[in-house]
Amino acid sequence: MKPIYVLNGPNLNMLGLREPAIYGSETLKDVEARCLARASELGFAIDFRQTNIEGELVSWIHEARTKASGIALNAGAYTHTSIALHDALKAADVPAVEVHLSNVHKREAFRHHSFIAPAVNGVICGLGINSYELAISALASIITANKKG
């Protein structure tokens, strides 16, 4: 079984230090541990990565086309700016879920629009680390259903 790629974009390496009132006090390592535990319960492996570089996310999404069974993507601020990530997700053609720790709709207007949302199966936001766990659960269901169908 191919792993689920859990891809994290800019500034997510600063979790735990960065605006804890918004993003919580847990680190990206803590997020990875929770994702790993959830995926294991569901019989999936994960490949968990973070980059501050938009093009690297694009390349990882391309790679997912053949190497991953699905993608959970928190693209950070690139969510609100990147047509390149939208196009990469369309090209990848694997199940994908957009994830955010914070409720972007409760925040500044510039966070209300996502270029990624139209290119993914679903969007989960505002639930802290639970957003990631829910994305993995949703992907596991979609991948399993696709196999049966």
Helices (H) and strands (E) in the chain, counts: 5, 5
- Catalytic site includes residue 100: yes
82 binds ligand DHK (CB under 6 A): no
Distance CA 84, CA 65 (A): 16
Provide the terminal-to-terminal Cα distance of the chain, rounded to the nearest Å: 17
Q: Per DSSP, what are the bridge partners of residue 4?
A: 46, 70
C-beta of 147: minimal distance to ligand DHK in Å? 30
Residue from 71, 76, 94, 119 binding ligand DHK (CB under 6 A): 76
Distance CA 129, CA 69 (A): 21
Report the residue number, 69 or 79, with the smaller CB distance to ligand DHK: 79
Stated length of the chain: 149
- Quick one: which segment of 31-39, 73-81, 83-91, 135-143 binds ligand DHK (CB under 6 A)? 73-81
SS3 99: strand
Q: Binding string, 88-117, against ligand DHK, x = CB under 6 A?
A: ------------xxx-x------x------
27 binds ligand DHK (CB under 6 A): no
- Catalytic site includes residue 62: no
Token pair recorded at residue 64? 């997912």
31 binds ligand DHK (CB under 6 A): no
Q: Closest Cα to residue 46, out of 60, 58, 35, 30?
A: 35
Give me the catalytic one of 5, 86, 100, 132.
Answer: 100
* Residues forming the active site: 23, 100
**Which residues form the interface with ligand DHK (CB under 6 A)?**
11, 74, 76-77, 79, 100-102, 104, 111
